[in-house]
Each structure stands twice: as structure tokens, then as C-alpha cells.
Structure 1
Amino acid sequence: MNSASKTGGIDLTSLEKSWMNLEKCYEKVRRVDSNYRAGVVFTKRRFEEASDPGERLYFQAAGLLAVAYDHQQALQDMMRSAIHPFSVWSLIRPAFEAAFHVVWILDPDDSQERMRRGLRLAGDELRSRKARDKAGKKVMGGQRNKDVQRRERRNQELGKKFEKEAQALHMGKNLIGKRVDPEKEFPKLESLRIDKVDGNYFYLAWRILSALQHGDMNAVAEVSDISKVIKIPGGWQTSTTVNDDVLISMMQLSMLMQITAIKLYIGRTTSN
């Protein structure tokens, strides 16, 4: 299989319009953030940022939007030159998933619930950090290494801090770092009820993109078109290309997820 194929039958003119609209959304985020920092208007975000969990909540959301934006830009650069049939999914999925987490933490109308979700996300990241540290400890000289000791102390400090925050938010310790279950959470998100599309469509997209990003060859075959079949000794050689309709659908759902995340972020920042 050729590692890259020309964009072929995909209408880049239509996509360019969608990309331009998405770029305008991200530009609005930057303007809103700039105005927010310069002003003193008491919005929902301003009240929430008066506490550590609330301040972290918007730091997380802004960071995740930056992740989504960066992958979206890389995807657009690729699409303007050639489609790499395997790596293209590794650009769509991170943008989609980062935006999903923004939607998940900002979707609830209740401020306390938004901060609880932010704390869950922070706890999950702490668990990931501990797992990296455990692996690193084996190659850094063990417990005697000063960097290992420093990071362990920091992990303990964060753990205690998160427990205090959970208590203040009336949240059980067992929920700190509890991973988001996409199958359960996607359908619950009110922000994802858009026309005839709901969370179930996004969950299906998440499943497909996850399989593709991790190199599931069955999934790759399902989203590919076989253009040539040549008999060779011992079997058949096929030439495949990414199915245009599937690729465009995944890109459109990713952009829709990003736009939804942006609307929530702007809404929480500007509404009172």
C-alpha cells in the first residue's frame, strides 16, 4: 500500500470553508480570553476561578482547546498536500477527544458539578503521572534518585490537595480520578444534541477513531476502498485508499465537537 495518496475526489473547497469557520471560532476564543483578563465583569467563570478547583477547570479547558487546535492545524496541512491513510486518524482523534473533554467538564449547568468533573480529570492525570513515575523509577536509580523523591513528594501533595477539594465539593474520594466512561457520558451531554445528531453518533465516531488510531486493521479495512486486486503467489495484493465519505464524516464530527466545546467555553466565560 502506498503510504500517501493525493486528496483525489475530496472537495477541498468545501472543507476550506469549514476550516475557515472553525478558525473564526478559535479567534473568538482568543478575543474573549483577552477581554476577560482585561476586564472585571462578574461572570460564571469569574466566580468559579475564585477557588482552586474553578481556576484549574478553565486552565484545563483552555489547554485542551489548544491541543485540539494544534491537531486540527496539522490535519489541514496534511489534507492540502496528501492523505496519509494511517496517520490521518492520529490527527483527527486527538482533536476530537480533547474537545470532548472540554464539553464534558463544561456541559453541566451546575457550577459545583463542573468543578467536580475538572477534579476528576485532574485526578486521572495524577494517576497517569504516578504510572509514568513508577516506570521511570526503574531506570533512574530507584528510590535514592533525588528527582524520584521530589516527584513522589509532589504527587503526595497533589493527592492531599485533591482530597481536600473533593471534601469541599461534597465529592467522594473514590471519584477523584475516576475515568470518564465514553459509552455512558456521550449520550448524557445536552450540548451534543444538535439537530438529528446526539451523543450516540459521537460515541460511535469515538469508537471508530480509537480503533483506527491504534492500528486496528479490521477497522482500517472497513473505512477503505479496494481499488485493485492482483493475484500473487500465495495470495492477493490489494491497493486501498481511504473512503472519502468516512474521512469527511469523521472530520466534520470532530469539527462539530470542537465548535461545541468553544461555544461552551465562551458561554461560561461571558455569561453571568
Structure 2
Amino acid sequence: MAAAAGTDYSPSVTVSNEEQALINKLMALLQVTEQWIERTYPTAQPGSAFAGDDAKIHPYEVSHQASQSMGVAVDHLHSMRMALTGTGDNVLRIHTYAPLSLTRVALENAALALWLSSPAQRPERILRRLRLEMANLKAVKSFFGRPNPQQDAEIQRRKDRVNELAFQAGVVTNAVLAANPTASEEDIKAATRTALTNKPTATEIVQDAGQIAQLIDGDNNLALMLWRVCSAVAHGDRWVLTAFDIEVIGPSTPGVSDVRITAPTDLLVAGVQVALAMYGAAYRVYDQRVTSHR
């Protein structure tokens, strides 16, 4: 992935040659989003793995969630490119916090698509998709807050439907029978309901996806580490400022100084690299699932 020949992006302030090289590298990395933003995601072909998944749990298709998540990831990366070049093709203004927040969303959604698509066995792919759906239904109920009998009844109806689809798809049947060969249908249904209430966390998703995409350096899961840093920035957590460049401008009041805080460009470049790699891994698995029976 490289920028057009001869492209040299100038920041709005004077920077070192090393910093200039990082800025050019960042823009070269983001160049690929110009193609990705126009990408359409093929529907699952008859006989493919995703076609089989989707048929069992309509209208909660695995392929639809995976393609949506990849679209969200690309949208945020492309918006970063647009924001950086918003003052002109050869002038950049890199905000301190916003690019890392955009990177966080891109990384998280690309990871979700990979986490959802990667299991080799259909029951696990379906279980992950329906765990997400149960979390969605819980979020809807929480959003509206106060009890609403009609709305609550509709949410419960949808939960019952998700539970039944999961049971029919046998998402935990083999595991239950392996542990207890005499398990009854009610035992399997109860285990299914329990499995579906296990809400996937972003930490679980990014950590697993980082391993699948082989974004590992020794004992460090790079995807998880960078996602945590970017999430801290998005939430306004102060601990992350220890990784930033802090320049003391001068005293403000006794015991307090004015400072200029700058996000390290190499951190942003690393985050974008990991997000792009995660998206690439997700798309490759998605493409396999919509065309192959495995």
C-alpha cells in the first residue's frame, strides 16, 4: 500500500524529518481506503458456509453482521483520511485525540467481523451471532428504560425466537451430550439459553481476533493493546496521557503549569496498521465463507 508517486504531505506546523516520514506513511496506509470505501460485499452463494448459516437463523444472518461490521470499520478509516486532508490535498492537521478514536472503532469492528466469521464449525458461528443478537435486545430494553408492556412483550417474543433458532441449530447440543449423554431436550434448551446470555465483550472479541489475525509480538497481543489505548483516548481517560508527548509551556497558577499535549504519530500509525491488517484478515475469511462450503 503506497501513496501516489511524489506525494508529500505537509503538516500545519514544523516537524522533524522523522515525523514527516511517519505522516507520509500514515497517508500511504490510508490510501487503500479509497478503494475499500467503494467495495461491495458479495452475498453468500448457494452451498457456501454462510448460506447454510444464514438459512438456519434468518433474519439474524451471520453474513449480514460480518459485512456491516467491515463497512463500519472502513467508513471510520476513510473518514480519518478525509479529515486529515480536509484543508487541502497537501496539508494535514492531525488532531490530538480524534484519529485514535476513529482507529478504535475501525479496529473493534474489523475484529468483530473476523471473530464472527472465523470459527470452522457452523454451530459456533451461529452461537456467536445469536449472542450478539441477545445483547442487542438487552440494549434496546435498557435504552427505553421504564417498563412498557407492549414493547417488553415484543422484546420477549424476539428473545424466544432467538432461543428457539439457537436450539434448532444445535449450538450447544454436542457439548451438552458430551458432558451428559442422557441429557434431555429440556437440559439442552436450558444450556442454550444460558449460552446466549453470555454477552460478547469487546475485550473478548478483539483479543480473539488479534490471535486469529496473528497480530502478536511475543507475549503481546498488539490488537488488544492498541485497542485499549485507543479506547482510553475515546473515553477521555487520563492514564493514557502518559504515552503522549507533553510539553510544559509555563506556569499557570502556583503549582499548576500550562502544557501542550500531542499524540505520538507513531502510535497512530501503529493503530492504523493493525486496524487495516484486521480488516484484511476479516475480508479474506468472509470471502471464503460466502464462496466455499467450509
Considering the TM-score relative to the shorter chain, is it more than 0.5?
A: yes
Q: Match for 1:263 among 267, 284, 288?
A: 284
When residues 149 and 183 of structure 1 are mapped into structure 2, their CA distance, relative to the original with a 3 A threshold, is closer
Mapped to 2, the partners of 1:224 and 1:196 lie a distance apart of 22
Mapped to 1, the partners of 2:67 and 2:95 lie a distance apart of 29
Pairing 1:145-224 to 2, within 5 Å after superposition: 148-168=148-168, 169-171=170-172, 172-181=192-201, 183=203, 186-189=206-209, 191-194=212-215, 196=217, 200-219=221-240, 221-224=241-244
Which digits, 9 at most, give the CA deviation of each residue in 1:15-68, with x for residues without a partner? 3332233444565x51x51xx47xx55221222222225852111112212211
When residues 237 and 90 of structure 1 are mapped into structure 2, their CA distance, relative to the original with a 3 A threshold, is same
Q: Are 2:258 and 1:231 equivalent residues in the alignment?
A: no
Contact 1:119/1:177 (8 A) holds in 2:
no
Gaps of 5+ in 2: 1-10, 86-91, 173-191
For residue 178 of structure 1, what is the amino acid of its counterpart? Answer: N
In proportion to residue count, which structure has more helix?
1
For residue 53 of structure 2, what is the amino acid of its counterpart? Answer: E
Mapped to 2, the partners of 1:49 and 1:213 lie a distance apart of 34
TM-score normalised according to structure 1 size = 0.80
Mapped to 2, the partners of 1:94 and 1:55 lie a distance apart of 22
Contact 1:163/1:173 (8 A) holds in 2:
yes
Runs of 4+ residues deviating >4 angstroms:
181-190, 194-199
Q: Are 2:267 and 1:246 equivalent residues in the alignment?
A: yes
For residue 229 of structure 2, what is the amino acid of its counterpart? Answer: I
Mapped to 2, the partners of 1:16 and 1:247 lie a distance apart of 11
Give the total of aligned pairs: 250
Mapped to 2, the partners of 1:206 and 1:245 lie a distance apart of 15
Contact 2:215/2:222 (8 A) holds in 1:
no
Mapped to 2, the partners of 1:126 and 1:6 lie a distance apart of 46
When residues 126 and 45 of structure 1 are mapped into structure 2, their CA distance, relative to the original with a 3 A threshold, is same
When residues 26 and 232 of structure 1 are mapped into structure 2, their CA distance, relative to the original with a 3 A threshold, is closer
Contact 1:22/1:255 (8 A) holds in 2:
no
When residues 22 and 266 of structure 1 are mapped into structure 2, their CA distance, relative to the original with a 3 A threshold, is farther
Cross-structure match for 2:130: 119
Once superposed, what is the RMSD of the aligned Cα atoms?
A: 2.7
Q: Are 2:37 and 1:17 equivalent residues in the alignment?
A: no
